[in-house]
Chains A and B, each alone.
Chain A
């Protein structure tokens, strides 16, 4: 009996995911988790602007040490994020194959957008750019492979060492503009995908998405700019 019940549950989950609507729900939920991470990450990163504390330590280095203090929590968060990233990408990939390759094999000679935004039409490009950036970013500042003179835990030093190279700073800025574009459409889109829509709240949600996306873009881009301009040393 138990096996039958489990099989039915599994079947139900598969049927849910097989549907395009189900895949969009998966993208919305995983997108929301990743958005939560991005907000926390930005708040943490903005500590770079604080001066050294009374012990002569950079606040961002202290914060990083605190994050690493409980490995169980750190690794739980990392695993959840990794699963979210994988699900988000796999669902996006499958939906893109349907949308871009299968649903309309013969395209229009002329097609004029009337309502969609540049951000919404380029999700399929901003996403992969963000992925490449995240891989580089991890190799640069988490594993230190691309970081000149990387020292584990010396976050402030590592960031400055990375961004004093103008091409790297430029790459970070471009990638974070892509992230801002991705969120510009994605934040409201995730609400719609899980069915949150109401004439009273939708305009507020749309406006909030745009404001948050721009704020996150400015926040992240400010750091390489601050290092390049010598504001943060």
Chain B
């Protein structure tokens, strides 16, 4: 099959970019979307042109490296799928596709379809961790975790941090990402020591990165390759309200968890 692609080409963060039209011949329907771009890039390299830069790593849908907009939908039309697991059989011969990088002030474009997502790392660093004792691993099951809570925490922990939620959000909000990380920990007994500080600091960091506010559109949930639920954002809001009410400044600078 043949495809007509309009791809955002941008040399570096400083240069202005533009959409460039490409035609890709000999696309096999069993190729993944990234393999189709590999074919295009082989062709571009043979013509001494700059290949299209895109992020990728595992190509198994689990690492969170890949992702861009296909016809205005993050990760393309297939639900619960990253672009590396999106196969060309979902497209028609001769179809025109518009490929753009994630757009958010907090995600500056580095080159073509690659954006800098280190804002996510800084949100995690602000509170997405637990304090554990060093030494030998604790006895398994020594800490009881309610089954339903363990399942909910696991669902939230599925987030691979790809950034599709931000890209799809009309407000470029990172609420679903931050909510998944807060939920994943807030539900577990191991993470109670930092509970209030985590909610306050991660929400504050999200805003410091200039991500927008959640207005409950639900676009993020619809494009999330791991199908993280909007319910997590409600949990983040609860955690934030709870923490804002309960949090106390430490009496001394040192000590405590």
Residues of A participating in the B interface, judged by any CB pair closer than 8 Å: 8, 12, 15-16, 18-25, 95, 98-100, 102-117, 120-121, 123, 185, 188-189, 191-199, 202
A109 near B207 (CB under 8 angstroms)?
Answer: no
One of A15, A24, A112 near B214 (C-beta < 8 A): A24
B170 near A116 (CB under 8 angstroms)?
Answer: yes
One of A21, A106, A108, A202 near B240 (C-beta < 8 A): A21
A98: chain B residues at CB < 8 Å are 171, 210, 212-213
A104 with B215: in contact, given A192-B234, A193-B237, A195-B234 (CB under 8 Å)? no
How many A-B residue contacts, CB cutoff 8 Å?
A: 142
A22 near B19 (CB under 8 angstroms)?
Answer: no
A112 near B72 (CB under 8 angstroms)?
Answer: yes
Determine how close the nearest CB of chain B comes to the CB of A22; give it in whole angstroms.
Answer: 7
A192 near B233 (CB under 8 angstroms)?
Answer: yes
B206: chain A residues at CB < 8 Å are 20
A199 near B69 (CB under 8 angstroms)?
Answer: no
Q: Is B82 an interface residue (CB 8 A)?
A: no
A selection of 11 A-B contacts at a CB cut-off of 8 Å is A20-B203, A21-B213, A24-B237, A103-B171, A103-B210, A115-B217, A115-B221, A185-B216, A189-B215, A192-B230, A197-B231
B217 near A194 (CB under 8 angstroms)?
Answer: no
One of A108, A115, A193, A194 near B103 (C-beta < 8 A): A108
One of B103, B105, B230 near A102 (C-beta < 8 A): B105
Per-position 1/0 for B68-104, Cβ under 8 A of A? 0101110000000000000000000000001010011
A195 with B204: in contact, given A108-B69, A110-B69 (CB under 8 Å)? no
Determine how close the nearest CB of chain A comes to the CB of B187; give it in whole angstroms.
Answer: 14
B235 near A19 (CB under 8 angstroms)?
Answer: no
Q: Is B33 an interface residue (CB 8 A)?
A: no
Interface of B is mostly: mixed
A195 near B103 (CB under 8 angstroms)?
Answer: no
Q: Is B222 an interface residue (CB 8 A)?
A: yes
A112 to B100, CA, bound (A): 12
Q: Is B168 an interface residue (CB 8 A)?
A: yes
Interface of A is mostly: helix
B240 near A22 (CB under 8 angstroms)?
Answer: yes
A28 to B144, CA, bound (A): 36
A195 near B213 (CB under 8 angstroms)?
Answer: no
Determine how close the nearest CB of chain B comes to the CB of A99; give it in whole angstroms.
Answer: 4
Q: Which of A95, A98, A104, A196 has the most CB of B within 10 A?
A: A104
B207 near A20 (CB under 8 angstroms)?
Answer: yes
**Contact-residue bracket for chain B:** 35 or more
One of B73, B204, B221 near A19 (C-beta < 8 A): B204
A104: chain B residues at CB < 8 Å are 103-105, 171-172, 212
A113: chain B residues at CB < 8 Å are 219
B103: chain A residues at CB < 8 Å are 104, 106-108
B207 near A99 (CB under 8 angstroms)?
Answer: no
B244: chain A residues at CB < 8 Å are 12, 15-16, 22
B168 near A114 (CB under 8 angstroms)?
Answer: yes
Determine how close the nearest CB of chain A comes to the CB of B163; give it in whole angstroms.
Answer: 13
Determine how close the nearest CB of chain B comes to the CB of A73; give it in whole angstroms.
Answer: 30
Q: Is B51 an interface residue (CB 8 A)?
A: no
Q: Is B65 an interface residue (CB 8 A)?
A: no
B73: chain A residues at CB < 8 Å are 112, 114
A24: chain B residues at CB < 8 Å are 213-215, 237
Determine how close the nearest CB of chain A comes to the CB of B74; give it in whole angstroms.
Answer: 9
Q: Is B241 an interface residue (CB 8 A)?
A: yes
Determine how close the nearest CB of chain B comes to the CB of A204; give it in whole angstroms.
Answer: 14
One of A20, A25, A110, A116 near B217 (C-beta < 8 A): A116
Determine how close the nearest CB of chain B comes to the CB of A75; give it in whole angstroms.
Answer: 31
Determine how close the nearest CB of chain B comes to the CB of A9; give it in whole angstroms.
Answer: 12
5 interchain residue pairs of minimum CB distance: A195-B238, A197-B234, A103-B212, A112-B72, A20-B213
A20 to B170, CA, bound (A): 15
Q: A19-B204, A22-B244 are in contact. List 4 more A-B contacts (CB 8 A).
A: A24-B213, A104-B103, A123-B215, A191-B234
A114 to B211, CA, bound (A): 21
Determine how close the nearest CB of chain B comes to the CB of A197; give it in whole angstroms.
Answer: 3
